[in-house]
Amino acid sequence: MKHATLRKFTDQTATIGIVGLGYVGLPLMLRYTDVGFRVLGFDIDTEKVGKLNRGESYIEHISAAKIAAARQKLFEATTDFTRIAEADAVILCVPTPLNKYREPDMSFVIRTVEAIQPHLKAGQVISLESTTYPGTTEEELLPRVEADGLVVGKDVFLVYSPEREDPGNPNFETRTIPKVIGGHTPACLEVGIALYQPAIDRVVPVSSTKAAELTKLLENIHRAVNIGLVNEMKIVADKMGIDIHEVINAAATKPFGFVPYYPGPGLGGHCIPIDPFYLTWKAREYGVNTRFIELAGEVNSAMPDYVIGKVSLALNEHKRSLKGSKVLVLGIAYKKNVDDMRESPSVEVMERLAKLGADISYSDPHVPVFPNLPGHTHFKLQSEVLTAESIAAFDCIVLTTDHDKFDYPLILQHAALIIDTRGRFPATASNVVKA
């Protein structure tokens, strides 16, 4: 069975099934169609599936032209999970959020595996790409995949290969980002490597699915901890009257032993604010308290309140109270130059300002209408067009996401007060307060 499966990937006759057609699944689909594989995409969202089958995109940095080209050649989207039986590989790219207790919410993964399980067949490889805690593949996927008698490592093959997408980063793409992979058995690993090698320049095998799962967590915890450090350093530098961005840029000239991380209003995106809690939760099962990781999380979680404090104090210096002030939030995506709103700290800042009585508006060239985000206030707002007159009409402008499309000289010239959380404005300007 293994040799027949390997041959399909080698001669590119395999059909690739991708479950979850979002920020991870869509780039992966495009890569496989680029190299000549037929791709069958699965999603429970009928609107998304309809758009994709019409050759449309719903993610800004993925062009409709690319979707249309893939659709004309080798790609089809569907909500019909019975068609899993048509796939030789089933790659799971579904969300793994936290619940209200900040514990892993595995419901998307479990429901997906249960949806595909009745339609699995001998010879398939199942790969989980969703970020999760070490042991998920063995504990949650393995028993469900084997529920009807298929034996993993003999009849079907089970691997974990964490996604490494960086939306909007022009320097890296799916093909060029090395792919870590762990298999449940040596045969699983061999088949998993064969699955990814045609599409990815470099595949990095590790000894187990647990090792691959922990690799992904380490990558993102490394970033979360270092961002927590630099956010704390920002507060110290501010108290001392020092521009932290000047310090970071100077330190970054050291050619060894230092990696620059930059402060902000908090952490955003699906990975960095969430992934550390997957490990802290699992570590408690082994009697380990991850104090260092949790402390970084506390620092990063406190950043929106730090920004609000700076806004309030700055308005006070301008003889204005926060309540009733017209405040414009610049940039509401979680990172620059994308339309991705997942876990955006800008939304946290907006919510806190609104609760304190500020009259909130926003401007974001990548998000024309404020979306309905589960668990957050729904602001019925549209992105403000920035002109000299509109900028001058606000009591305060808070830069939370520093998109390149913003006209920073125009904003600096006409804003009464700017709270800069990203270091894009000169610290010496009389109307700029660093936060």
How far are the Cα atoms of 23, 132, 215, 314 from residue 108, in angstroms, in the given order? 16, 12, 21, 44
- Count CB atoms within 10 A of the CB of residue 294: 13
Q: Using CA atoms, how far apart are residues 178 and 180, in angstroms rounded to an integer?
A: 7
Both structure tokens of 398:
């808070």
Task: Please answer whether residues 311 and 435 qualify as being in contact, where contact means their C-beta atoms are separated by less than 8 angstroms.
Answer: yes
Q: How many residues does the chain have?
A: 435
Q: SS3 for 104?
A: strand
Which single residue is written with the structure tokens 């090698």?
Answer: 197
Q: SS3 for 433?
A: strand
Kindly give the residue spans of alpha helices, DSSP state H, lying in 74-208: 107-116, 136, 142-145, 186-196
Q: Using CA atoms, how far apart are residues 14 and 336, in angstroms rounded to an integer?
A: 37
CA dihedral 121, 127, 132, 136 (to 10 degrees): 40
Nearest alpha carbon to residue 219 among 162, 167, 181 = 162
Q: List, by residue number, the catalytic residues.
A: 271
Q: Using CA atoms, how far apart are residues 229 and 293, in angstroms rounded to an integer?
A: 11
Task: Please answer whether residues 421 and 267 qualify as being in contact, where contact means their C-beta atoms are separated by less than 8 angstroms.
Answer: no
Which single residue is written with the structure tokens 């403000």?
Answer: 384
Phi, psi for 199 (deg, rounded to 5): -105, -20
Looking at residue 9, what DSSP letter applies? H
Q: Using CA atoms, how far apart are residues 144 and 113, in angstroms rounded to an integer?
A: 7
Nearest alpha carbon to residue 322 among 355, 362, 370, 363 = 355
CA dihedral 69, 74, 75, 81 (to 10 degrees): 170
The string over 202-211, giving b where at least 16 C-beta atoms fall within 10 Å of a residue's C-beta and e elsewhere, is ebebbebbbe
Q: SS3 for 360?
A: strand
Nearest alpha carbon to residue 398 among 333, 301, 309, 307 = 307
